[in-house]
Amino acid sequence: MLFNTPQFFVFLAVVLGLFYTAPHSWRKPILLLASYFFYMSWNAKFVLLLLVLTTVDYFAGMWIERTAPSHRRKLFLIASLSANLGFLGFFKYFNFLAANLETVLRLPSHHWDIVLPLGISFHTFQSMSYVVDVYRGEQEAISSPLDYALFIAFFPQLVAGPIVRAREFFADLFHWRRPENDEILRGAFLTLFGLAKKMVLADQFAFVANQYFGNVSGHAGMLQAWSGTVAFALQIYFDFSGYTDMAIGMALLLGFHFPVNFRRPYLAQSITDFWHRWHISLSRWLRDYLYIPLGGNRHGRLMTYRNLMLTMLLGGLWHGASWNFVIWGGYHGVLLSAEKATGTAAVTVGRPWLQVPRMALTFALACIGWVFFRAATLHDSMQVIGQMLHGARGHMLLGPWYLRMIAFALLLAILEEKRDWFERVVKGPAWVYASAMAALLIAVELAGVTEVTMPFIYFQF
């Protein structure tokens, strides 16, 4: 059941209806049942995995809190992390590790048919952060298994985030209040806005990106390489941020407040700035649970660069089990380190004649990174990069319709950056809000890709 299907909206309507009409004490069970139903609608048997991980981390949290600081306490932490990483490693990285071992040991190749459970990368990270926070004493252990299970399985963010911290989620859960009118308006608008981003923009750019990356050698030419890659850059942004908007919007409608996950990343002036705007909840997780524990920037320049590289390499690997993702992470690690070394990470304030070239350069660098993210093989990636840097001129794959969409999206992004149009619409007169909502509905109806249901890209992670 994908967010961009009519079935999901029927499900959402039923959940909202039941949630708000049921007695207060039934609301948590309703949300939990709905979340498990949502998960099982994809693959019912993997619900056992979700239950096992939830049980392990629930008890780990309880035991860690009850145990005085000791080796035993640490053992509980290690056991919990091992369970999470073990399952993640098996389902996501087994074939990758096996293939590499086979290559190194020159063994015959064998591919195991392992299905990746939905959202495993997200809910294991969320679960691990909870156990670590309890270990650090930053979070009280949750005594109700139902509450904890809801934290892990809450359907708006179960499959692709945002990665919510336990204290944020439980603050809402324990002090739940009916959403204010403004929050309902914002939630409804975000949900529809996210759907429009996915169906009207992401899915249309997907046609061009899939056409290009599906046959890289058949599209030789610099303009093909750049336009195909730009199409993917826009597809992945609108796809993932559309999903996130929907998740945040639906959570708001249920009285929960999720953290911001995207802040117009393609207006970033440096790669450092880009990572402050792209998949913010993952960046925050990597910073708090990997980069800082590794030492962060506290032990001199070289150690800082090492920590950055390690964080980004693992961040890349988190996205997928292939060398392409490792290279993508490493590429960003190198750029972040280079910016730190040259002092070019900070954003320019004012002076648009400096800002615009910096944004363009950052976007181009991000696009080069996306090649590794999207190309099917390393060979394809190198071919695309080669075409981007020194291919023959070729021709654009993005026609006038796509260029108009890009111009419109850029205008909206700049207006949001400078004028905060979203808040103006939500808080504006009734006719402004209603017209914007109606325009989004019309856009989804007339310009959305409805012939095929394209899954969200991050659902595969």
Partner 1 sequence: MSASSPSAVSLQPAVKSRRALPRLLLAVVLFCTLEFAVFRSGWYTRYLEPDSTAGSMQIVLHIERQRYQPGTPRVLALGDSRMALLERVADGMTGETPYRFDTISLAGTHPRCWYYMLRDIDPDARHYSAIVIPLASYQDEDLENLADADVDIYYLVPLLRLSDALDFSMSFESWDLRRIALQDTLFKGLAYKRDLWAFAADPHGRMNRVHWARTDAAAANYAFVGPHNTMEGLQVDWDARKIVRYPDSTTPQIRSGLRDELLRPTGEYTGKRTAYLRKWLGRIVNRYRGSPTRLIFMRLPRGPLIRPYVVNAPTSAVREIAARADGVLIDKDYFDQLEQPPLFRDALHLNEKGCEEFTVLLVRKVTDILRTAGRN
Q: Closest separation between CB of residue 185 and partner 1, Å?
A: 5
The whole-angstrom separation of Cα 382 and Cα 2 is 33
Q: Closest separation between CB of residue 1 and partner 1, Å?
A: 14
Q: Using the rule CB under 8 A, is 394 a contact of partner 1?
A: no
Q: Closest separation between CB of residue 242 and partner 1, Å?
A: 11
Among 17, 346, 417, 460, binds partner 1 (CB under 8 A): 417
Q: Are 192 and 437 in contact (CB under 8 A)?
A: yes
Per annotation, catalytic residue among 319, 379, 390, 395: 319
Note the maximum CA span of the chain.
69
* Angle of CA points 346, 344, 391, to nearest 5°: 125
- In DSSP notation, 25-94 reads GGHHHHHHHHHHHHHHTT-GGGHHHHHHHHHHHHHHHHHHHHSPSSHHHHHHHHHHHHHHHHHHIIIIIH
| Cβ partners under 8 Å of residue 144, min gap 6 | none
| Cβ partners under 8 Å of residue 190, min gap 6 | 245, 246, 248, 249, 252
Nearer to partner 1, 79 or 188 (CB): 188
- 3-state class (DSSP) for residue 363: helix
- Given the rule CB under 8 A, which of 54-62, 119-127, 152-160, 247-255 is the region that contacts partner 1? 247-255
- Given the rule CB under 8 A, which of 201-209, 262-270, 318-326, 390-398 is the region that contacts partner 1? 262-270
Nearer to partner 1, 153 or 425 (CB): 425
Q: Using the rule CB under 8 A, is 264 a contact of partner 1?
A: yes
Among 138, 395, 420, 460, binds partner 1 (CB under 8 A): 420
For 165: left if phi > 0, alpha if psi spans -120 to 50, otherwise beta; the answer is: beta
- Given the rule CB under 8 A, which of 77-85, 179-187, 303-311, 359-367 is the region that contacts partner 1? 179-187
Residue 133 backbone phi and psi in degrees, to 5: -60, -40
Nearer to partner 1, 6 or 108 (CB): 6
Among 98, 188, 220, 385, binds partner 1 (CB under 8 A): 188
Question: Which of these, 192, 231, 202, lies nearest to 384 by C-alpha position?
Answer: 231
Q: Closest separation between CB of residue 128 and partner 1, Å?
A: 23
The whole-angstrom separation of Cα 144 and Cα 362 is 46
Nearer to partner 1, 15 or 313 (CB): 15
- In DSSP notation, 322-357 reads SHHHHHHHHHHHHHHHHHHHHT--SPPPS-HHHHHH
Q: Closest separation between CB of residue 129 and partner 1, Å?
A: 19
Residue 254 exposure: Cα atoms within 13 Å on the Cβ side: 31
Among 25, 70, 181, 342, binds partner 1 (CB under 8 A): 181
Site residues (CB under 8 A) for partner 1, limited to 12-31: none
Q: Using the rule CB under 8 A, is 263 a contact of partner 1?
A: yes
- The verdict on whether 279 is a catalytic residue reads no
Q: Using the rule CB under 8 A, is 410 a contact of partner 1?
A: no
Nearer to partner 1, 305 or 433 (CB): 433
- 3-state class (DSSP) for residue 361: helix
Q: Using the rule CB under 8 A, is 431 a contact of partner 1?
A: yes
Q: Which residues bind partner 1 (CB under 8 A)?
A: 6, 179-186, 188-190, 245, 248-249, 252, 257-260, 262-264, 416-417, 420, 422-423, 426-427, 430-431, 433-438, 441-442, 445-447, 450
